[in-house]
Structure 1
Amino acid sequence: MKDIFVTLQNGTVTYSTVHITTDSNLGGQWVTGLPLIGEQSLTLVNYVMFSGPGNISEMYWQQDDMDVQYTSDIVSIYSSTKIDKQLNDQLENMQFLSEEHFAIVQGNNLSNEQGKRILFVKDLSGEGLNNSIFLSQVDSLYDFGDSPSWVKEVVAAFLSGSIAGENKASQIVNTLMNEMSDAQLESWLQKLQDLKGSKITSTV
């Protein structure tokens, strides 16, 4: 469910709190991208509360129950299976591109869409998860419009320091890294920081 909340026309949302109350027979799992504060099942209703910095514009619900298998100030992972120590250590040491909390849901979204603060993944292991996280965070930091996918992958590679993505993106990053001096690279990274919130195209 997207764009279901009242929005401010001339202001910026700095903090959001979401209360969800449903019939006790509904069950399932709600996800918003905000940190889960608590949930309780009562005789007639189920109650869930999410709260944290920033704005949200979407909610996700699935019938199958999931648990929060990992949570930190930046990310929560919803899955029906426990995560292993290797993934836990990987997340603890990961340098995220944004401090805005988001949720990772293991499974498929029936609409085949990713959310602004909700990332759907099939596999919770390996370098592929890192790449999915970086691409999701970059997508929330910039407006890529109709730009080809390699543009997003190039930006993610520079900001994360990891050369990832399809072959074209990797070739572009390798070429630029080999051609740039340290000063030019520092200037380019600063420009990417300055462009946050702006539209990014293949010519920018």
Structure 2
Amino acid sequence: MKIIIRTVILLFIMNLALLYMHYSQLADAKGDSEEVLQYVQEIEVINRKDSLIVRQHFRKLDSRRHEIILPTEGKEFTCFMDTDSSCSRINDNVTAFLEGDEDRQSISYEIPKSDSMVNRKLFKEPFAALKNAVPVSTMLHVTDETGIGGMWVSGLEFVGSKKMNMVDYSLFKGEGQVTDLYWQHTELPIAYKGSNLSILGQPVDEESAAQLNNDLMALNADHLIIAIDPKGKQLQTDRFIITNQKLSAIANTVVEKGVQSQFVLSTAEDLVANLITSILIDSPAGKESARRAFGELKENLTVDQYEALRNLVSAQRGAPMDAVKLDGLIGEVSGFKTSFVQQNSIRKYPFHFEDNRPAVINGELQEDVQIVVKDGRTLYPAKQVLTANGYTVSSNERSIYIESEAEKFRFSLRDSFYVLNEKKYTLRDFPFELIGDDYYFEEDALRRLFHLSIQKHEDKISITSLVEGESK
């Protein structure tokens, strides 16, 4: 009997060990799939009459399997024998690099042309990429065999070009992926060349260009190209802007693209993009509403809180960012909840913190009462708090009216006084503030004028009327 019991216990322990190993491997596999890996690439493009011929070389690959994201417009995908072993890890349908030690692999394919190249041509996402991996460095060679002339733009920094008898050659180099490739017949001279920004076209204000370059550097943004062509048509991609406007007119757009190259932002998150930019470059940027919001945000955080926020925002590079997440980061450094960014995405809204504790009014939990902290004052929504304590609350463009059976208040919105039962009292400061569509009253004013007891506990804020029979 003892032998059977020991055997059962041993089997039980073995099963637990096997289960642990199984789920540990699953967890590790999940972690690997979410890890963003890095590689180096070199891309050769040959421009021919009907298509682009592409040879793409991947360098410094690790030994793991890598899925290849092929361009949707491409065809004739195959491995390319750049070296004896440059095809050793490529599967039959050229959709993955298999596990292996060889860190250099090459593929080739064609990008057909749907129409002829006359004045300009944009090739949208023409190159392959690796899933869950980013190129830290890209070298792009463009060889034109058609004699079409013009200039090529990729977003990478232009290194140089050479015209020969049979072909024209251009070389580009820089960090990150080449998301799009553009050609236009009109050649433009280099007007400004910086580490993160190049401007093509007529001479521009050197100081303005240098400031934009510095902003992009502060954002750690990928290199960006601006081609200012007075006769050209507007075109924007992730890494270059073709425009007929002056540099001053597109400055905000340039900085926004720098942010978008570092963070995952939806097109609806203009305010978030502008605020992230302002925080990282430590200067107001973007639209006037965003500049105002940044000023309020910085004014209401301590120096240490603001620096902590900058570090937290910077740490989010490559991750999705929206108003909710940015509000959460502000709350993390301040210790208070806030919906400042969310509210300002809808309308003009003052900065304040929100007390996380629920309000309990006369013994009843009020889940929709939001108590706020603004400019060092604790404010309560008058309509919700006072209505629950026997008052009616209304307002117009001149006054706030708060009335009960025994008391009739009128607070002037223009001058610092109030009237109680037809007797006028002067106020040193306004004890209320308009936040959104509602008036909020200071905590001390609620206690002093409306006979409320406000008790703050660790898990709640209790509000009770000190006048018997007033609460409803």
TM-score (norm 2): 0.39
What residue is the counterpart of 1:48 in the other structure? Answer: 170
Indicate whether 1:139 and 2:260 are aligned: yes
CA contact under 8 A between 2:159 and 2:171: conserved in structure 1?
yes
CA contact under 8 A between 2:195 and 2:213: conserved in structure 1?
no
SS of 2:124's partner is coil
| Greater mean alpha carbon deviation, residues 43-52 or residues 89-98 | 89-98
Q: C-alpha distance in 2, partners of 1:91/1:202?
A: 25
CA contact under 8 A between 1:24 and 1:41: conserved in structure 2?
no
Question: Partner letter of residue 168 of structure 2?
Answer: N
SS of 2:173's partner is strand
What residue is the counterpart of 2:195 in the other structure? Answer: 73
Q: CA deviation at 1:143?
A: 0.8
What residue is the counterpart of 1:119 in the other structure? Answer: 241
Q: Which has the higher contact order (CA 8 A, sep 6+)?
A: 1
Query: Which structure has the larger Rg?
Result: 2
Indicate whether 1:148 and 2:261 are aligned: no
CA contact under 8 A between 2:259 and 2:277: conserved in structure 1?
yes
What residue is the counterpart of 2:203 in the other structure? Answer: 82
CA contact under 8 A between 2:144 and 2:168: conserved in structure 1?
yes
CA contact under 8 A between 2:145 and 2:168: conserved in structure 1?
yes
What residue is the counterpart of 2:279 in the other structure? Answer: 158
Q: C-alpha distance in 2, partners of 1:25/1:107?
A: 22
Indicate whether 1:170 and 2:280 are aligned: no
Q: Provide the aligned C-alpha RMSD in A.
A: 2.6
SS of 1:14's partner is strand
What residue is the counterpart of 1:32 in the other structure? Answer: 154
Question: Which of the numbers 319, 326, 342 marks the counterpart of 1:198?
Answer: 319
- Give the unaligned 5+ runs of structure 2: 1-122, 326-472
Q: CA deviation at 1:124?
A: 4.5
Q: C-alpha distance in 2, partners of 1:10/1:202?
A: 25
SS of 1:133's partner is helix
Shift in CA distance, 113/65, structure 1 to aligned 2, threshold 3 Å: closer
Shift in CA distance, 162/78, structure 1 to aligned 2, threshold 3 Å: same
Percent of paired sites with the same residue: 23
Question: Partner letter of residue 30 of structure 1?
Answer: W
SS of 2:155's partner is coil
Question: Partner letter of residue 39 of structure 1?
Answer: S
Indicate whether 1:20 and 2:142 are aligned: yes
In the alignment of these two chains, the number of paired residues is: 201
TM-score (norm 1): 0.84
CA contact under 8 A between 2:196 and 2:221: conserved in structure 1?
yes
- Give the unaligned 5+ runs of structure 1: none
Q: C-alpha distance in 1, partners of 2:188/2:222?
A: 22
